[in-house]
Amino acid sequence: MDLNVVKTFITAAEFNHFRKAAERLYISQPTVTVHIKQLEKELGVILFERDGKKLKLTEAGRSYFQHAKRLIEIYEEGISELQSFSQGYTTTLKMAISPLIADNVLPFVLKQFLESHPKVEISVEIIESAEIEKAVLEERVDIGLSCLPCFSPELELTLLFSDKVILVAPHDGRDFESAPPLEEEELLASNYLLTHNHPAYWDDLCYTIKQFYPKTRMMRVSQTHITKRFISEGLGVSYLPSTTVRRELLEGRLLEVETKAFPMPEAKTFAITKYQHKIQKEFLLFLSRFRV
């Protein structure tokens, strides 16, 4: 079977249109027609039918569509693995990682891991923590690094580390040694509180803050790196995991504010796996040695 013919069928089925399929595949429309007729002859069924001016799959065409997609996926996976092998890779590791972890933890750890495991081919998909459990469960990735725990009984959850959450404010330009300390209540009264930059702790934290400081004005900012930029520009303050602002605190661009009114939550990082084969175990062991 000519796989180019199968690819033509898949594309035509996705568009329900031969001309659009031809444009996507950079071939002529008559070639699309020839490919479909060739496949129909080989399979012994009619794959498309006309409904007025519209083109649609027959029942047989709908049934074969999923098989055709799997056929191409298996072929392309084989080619990809062969290319990896020819380039010196012997193992692949697919990871799904939340934006927060990718921005703060992953670069340093991944660099160290690749230096000590040069024959491992890594692929990284950046997706929100709420979607990582599904990606691991469906085996689209081998490991998920998430800010949220998983709940499926088919998956294994490993707590990698916990991070304290701190109140962060912009540098006020005053001398750190001689200036009076910043007060949490005063900051929340005079600034927007930038919230929901972490998927785990903000709902409960917002409720608690409203109990202690009911006049606090809040602004949702979904990404940590944007939150830090907003704080630096004087647009507000936020409660952030300490590791996410370590560099900014050391460089004096942001300030940590002491909090005493209520206990701070913890920001946790989890590894989610469906199987723990050799490479998954090696990566998790390697990751557990780093607390960055």
Q: pLDDT of 236-289, one tens digit each?
A: 999 999 989 988 999 889 999 999 899 999 999 999 999 888 888 888 888 877
Calpha distance 64→58 (Å, rounded): 10
Yes or no: say if 3 and 72 are a contact pair by the CB < 8 Å rule: yes
Range with the poorest average pLDDT among 52-61, 116-125, 139-148: 116-125
Q: Does residue 177 or residue 257 have the better pLDDT? A: 257
The highest-confidence range among 30-44, 104-118, 177-191, by mean pLDDT, is 30-44
Range of the domain at 128: 91-159+269-288
Under the banding of pLDDT at 50, 70 and 90, the label for residue 178 is: very low
Pull the structure tokens for residue 249: 């605190």
Judged against a pLDDT cut of 90, whether residue 2 lies above it is answered with no
Whether residue 79 sits in one domain with residue 170: no
Yes or no: say if 74 and 121 are a contact pair by the CB < 8 Å rule: no
Q: Does residue 117 or residue 259 have the better pLDDT? A: 259
40-70 tens-digit pLDDT: 999 999 999 987 778 899 999 999 999 999 8
Q: What is the rounded average pLDDT for all residues in the chain? A: 87
User: Which pLDDT value is given to residue 132?
Assistant: 95
Q: Does residue 222 or residue 175 have the better pLDDT? A: 222
Ramachandran assignment for 55, one of left (phi > 0), alpha (psi -120 to 50 degrees), beta (any other): beta
User: Which pLDDT value is given to residue 262?
Assistant: 93
Residue 135: in which H helix or E strand, if any?
helix 129-137
Give the domain-ending residue among 63, 86, 109: 86
Whether residue 203 sits in one domain with residue 190: yes
Of all residues in the chain, the percent with pLDDT exceeding 70 is 91
Judged against a pLDDT cut of 70, whether residue 175 lies above it is answered with no
Pull the structure tokens for residue 201: 């702790």
Whether residue 250 sits in one domain with residue 189: yes
Cα of first residue to Cα of last residue in the chain, in angstroms, is 52
What's the CATH number where 97 sits? 3.40.190.10
Calpha distance 29→20 (Å, rounded): 8
Range with the poorest average pLDDT among 70-79, 128-137, 187-196: 70-79
Tell me the pairing of strands 54-57 and 91-97: unpaired
Angle between helices 29-43 and 18-25 (to 10 degrees): 110
Whether residue 283 sits in one domain with residue 141: yes
Judged against a pLDDT cut of 70, whether residue 80 lies above it is answered with no
Whether residue 132 sits in one domain with residue 229: no
Whether residue 255 sits in one domain with residue 171: yes
Yes or no: say if 270 and 146 are a contact pair by the CB < 8 Å rule: yes
Whether residue 209 sits in one domain with residue 232: yes
Whether residue 190 sits in one domain with residue 142: no
Under the banding of pLDDT at 50, 70 and 90, the label for residue 81 is: low
The highest-confidence range among 92-96, 99-103, 152-156, by mean pLDDT, is 152-156
Yes or no: say if 129 and 237 are a contact pair by the CB < 8 Å rule: no
Q: What domain count does the chain have?
A: 3
pTM of the model: 0.65
Q: Does residue 170 or residue 103 have the better pLDDT? A: 170
User: Which pLDDT value is given to residue 89?
Assistant: 42
User: Which pLDDT value is given to residue 184?
Assistant: 92
Judged against a pLDDT cut of 90, whether residue 217 lies above it is answered with yes
User: Which pLDDT value is given to residue 275?
Assistant: 85
Under the banding of pLDDT at 50, 70 and 90, the label for residue 180 is: low
For tokens 């079977």, name the residue.
1
